[in-house]
Structure 1
């Protein structure tokens, strides 16, 4: 009797496993959403993005460092962006994407550069200057940027598995900073940090595409890294408390994007 019950238990377990497997992996009765969507030559949509922008700083060893101490620090903040999607189908596995958007950014730079008083007599790269006591307002620069982000990306995606598909993308960006103040006469001595208006970057992205009955939802993670130096130097007669302490300042951003097509 015990052997019979053991055999029945084994058969029951096999039956349950087979039935569960059939329910999970069967494709005869399961409907695929938007079956012909990816065969379109062109498709459109929009996206929302949560972003974290920061500066990658290279500091001047004389004005930007005191021994091993960095005298300039960058602090990132979280902000948001939004844009449109235009996609051109190249073949079964590759698409060309153009995703123009706006990125609203705010960052902070902290200049702990009072020690540069020691160069008041002048150096080969800076004329003599009259030292000034840096206030808290002098040390902190809150930099607001609005980027018109124009990325052109090549997307490669895997085969569709029911209503999902993995993808990766990479490409180049032209980023126009509408709040650069690049042509302003004032500089950091008047509390204004200037940056370049026209910039170039490269981007890489990875994520998963999900197909619903009426739209395709794509959550993904994107990294964008500026190629050019964005800093506009201070005027020649400004003491070396600010931009002389920095060799280059390049934006780097990490974004969570949510796309609707």
Structure 2
């Protein structure tokens, strides 16, 4: 496995070294590519993304903690996404970008909350309940999400240096989860972790734009952070093993994007 990883890293390094040599360091007798491309009022393209999505959990101090021990853990996963690019030129240094896309996500949440049996008599936060032994299936929730991601970003870029230029961008996203199950009658008692459908986030991105003879390639890194709590509470009467243990669950994601314009 490690030999495969090493070979992959060597190939990637060679590719980037070739790009850097061709785009940045070979200055003799070289023409600038796509000289008038950035003067267009509108431009279009598409992007591919490799993602790492996770939940930022804030645990309930009563049901989500046992002393100093956290009873709920989350595991991130790697996934992919793709989308379109629409760019509106504001001036020489600023652009407005709209990049609708789809992000396919799968995450795991582990509930080690059997100790909440101590609250079976009821508390001000929950009604009395009958304890049940938690099986492995009860403790693990696999949360699948398909986000329709609609980010609106302001991009600022530096001056072009031969066939490259750096940029940074920031903005807000509306993210609709097509697999939220927010209105489903079942909850975690039946094995279903429900989340909200409509969500809002903010994003920040940095990268370098490379100009080739026929297109512009932009590798970049984007962070996306949900602003609202995505968790839908369990139904009344469900024991406090699951959603009661979590005060809020918000998505955070790191994406490596490749843009083609």
Does TM, scored on the shorter chain, surpass 0.5? yes
Distance 1:39 1:47, change over 3 A: same
The Cα offsets for residues 84-139 of structure 1, whole Å up to 9 and x where unpaired, read as: 00000000000000000000000000000000000000000100000000000000
Kindly state the Cα deviation for residue 25 of structure 1 after the two structures are TM-superposed.
7.2
Matched, 1:253 2:249: no
Taking only aligned residues, the RMSD between alpha carbons, in angstroms, comes to 0.8
CA distance in 2, matches of 1:25, 1:193: 55
Residue by residue, what CA displacement relative to the aligned partner does 1:14-40 show, whole Å, maximum 9, x if unpaired?
xxxxxxxxxx5756x320000000000
Structure 2, unpaired ranges of 5+:
1-24
Q: Quick check: 1:133 aligned with 2:136? A: no
The structure with more radius of gyration = 1
Q: Following the alignment from structure 2 to structure 1, what is the Cα–Cα distance between the partners of residues 240 and 49?
A: 37
Partners of 1:26 and 1:181 lie apart in 2 by 56
TM-score by length of 1: 0.90
Count of equivalent residues: 237
Matched, 1:48 2:73: no
Matched residue, 1:168: 168
Question: For the residues of structure 2 that align with 1:58 and 1:163, how far apart are their CA atoms?
Answer: 45
Normalising by structure 2, report the TM-score: 0.90
The runs of 5 or more residues in structure 1 that have no matched partner are 1-23
Q: What is residue 59 of structure 1 aligned with on the other side?
A: 59
2:26 and 2:80 map into 1 onto residues whose CA distance is 39
Task: Check if 1:242 corresponds to 2:242.
Answer: yes
Q: Aligned with 1:88: secondary structure?
A: strand
Runs of 4+ in structure 1 over 2 Å off = 24-27
Equivalent residue number for residue 212 of structure 1: 212
